[in-house]
Amino acid sequence: MGKIFEIRDPIHGFVTLNEWERDIINHPVFQRLRRIRQLGLTDMVYPGSMHTRFEHSLGVMQVATRMFNHIKERRSDFLKSELHFNDDGLRRDKVLVRLSCLLHDVGHAPFSHAAEGLMDKDQLSGKSYKHEQYSAAAVDFLMQDVIENHPLNQNYHIKAKEIADFLNGDSSVGRSLLWRDLVSGQLDADRADYLLRDSHHIGVAYGYYDLNRLIATLTVAIEPDNDSPVIAVEEGGEHAAEALIIARYMMFTQVYFQHTRRAYDYHSIESIKALLAKSKVQAGKEVFPAPTSKENVEEYLKWDDWKVLGLISAGEAGKNGKIMMERKHHRAVFETPETPRAEDQEFAKEIQDALGSKVAFVDFASGSWYKFEAADVPFLLQPGHTDEQLTTLSTISSVVKGLTTVNRTRIYVPMGKKDEARETVAKKRKEREEKR
């Protein structure tokens, strides 16, 4: 095992590491996360939100380890008799889960999710790459030595590509793929950490839920439709699961979709576009290089918050960079309800037409807090009994059944046109009321 290190964390107390994990953390690819804010420029609204992907990644590893340990202890007989795991395999999978959670965010762009839309397209699928694919590529191309050649890996023989495949959800990792829901699922360690961490740093209570109870009710079961193992919530844990889902809904509607925060997402994206167009990376293209080669990934990882903010400060990011520096962001002058009716959307279009050239941009804040059908959270009835039965959370939770997708439209204008635009909106609202 070697020496154990402790890092104090405001959410989880002490995060423990071994020498191998410490060396991975000290790698430049991981240290870059100190220069990637967890919530982009949210501090322009909530000054305390200065935390980074670095500390979040440590927290995800800690939470996933607790989840793994509980499931292994609670369902040890099931894992061995029904799924044919052995002690050595479980020990190895725990290491794989810890390292994958630690490295799951190393591919984030500057300002985190704000710049995700600036990632190049996969020529085969026609879809834009996601940060998870950049993370996997960074691990595979740049971290082989620190992962594969460390003395503590002698008993596990874990390859960098195996971690990359695990992050991408590739079936090549075999039955270890069971644990991927601890990294990327509806009740995963990622969400479990960021909801608590973001709430703590922002100073709101929206993201709090009972993490201890949620972990205590996680289990593993067999999906009858395809005879594959799944991580599930057992009977008695439905309210803990609901609480996390509600916390996520509240954080998105009250924080992540907050109108000024969304304006800074827009300005930061436009600033990075201007900087990318000036750079020699993509020959004038306003996207980051694709994660398809070591050279591309190395170039991509040079972009972090520090670099972008430095270029903005130097006046290289054009008008949007100047707006950010002076905090003269575009103002929202109209918004629909969170779940608009057809007539609300029609009125938004009418407002947009009436404002004409005053409109700076139209923002569509949409989010679904729960994925039904194939992604529905498995729920185990009568756990440990001979007649235990696997169903889904949505079938037994009235809270989950009632969730609706947010699809709010907002119209923004430059700061100097705010008053005139609001007068136009007020006039259109009055006309609308008179027609009723």
Beta strands in 269-405 (DSSP E): 331-335, 361-367, 378-381, 389-392
Which of the two residues, 54 and 433, has the higher pLDDT score? 54
* Two tokens, residue 168: 């991408």
Number of domains in the chain: 1
Taking Cα atoms as reference points, which of 360, 350, 342 lies closest to residue 427? 350
Does 269 map to a domain? yes
* Two tokens, residue 393: 């959370």
Taking Cα atoms as reference points, which of 185, 51, 4, 39 lies closest to residue 115? 39
Q: Tell me what the mean pLDDT of segment 49-67 comes to.
A: 98
Q: Tell me what the mean pLDDT of segment 124-152 comes to.
A: 96
Which residues does residue 232 pair with via DSSP β-bridges, in sequence order? 219
CATH number at residue 170: 1.10.3210.10
pLDDT digits (tens, 9 = 90+) for 357-384: 999 999 999 887 777 656 789 999 987 7
> For 56-70, 86-100, 274-288, which range has the lowest pLDDT when averaged over its residues?
274-288
pTM, rounded to two decimals: 0.95
> Which structural domain range is residue 143 located in?
4-203+258-305
Does 187 map to a domain? yes
DSSP secondary structure string for all residues of 2-50 = --EEEEEETTTEEEEEEHHHHHHHTSHHHHGGGGSBTTTTGGGTSTT--
Does 30 map to a domain? yes
Q: Measure CA 72 to chain center.
A: 26
pLDDT digits (tens, 9 = 90+) for 4-40: 999 999 999 999 999 999 999 999 999 999 999 999 9
Q: How far apart are the first and last CA of the chain?
A: 73
Using a 10 angstrom Cβ sphere, with 0-12 exposed, 13-18 middle and 19 or more buried, the burial of residue 224 is exposed
Does 316 map to a domain? no
Using a 10 angstrom Cβ sphere, with 0-12 exposed, 13-18 middle and 19 or more buried, the burial of residue 94 is middle
Does 311 map to a domain? no
pLDDT greater than 80 at residue 283? no
Helix (H) / strand (E) element for 406: namely: strand 406-413
Confidence of residue 165 (pLDDT cuts 50, 70, 90): very high
Does 283 map to a domain? yes
Does 125 map to a domain? yes
Does 59 map to a domain? yes
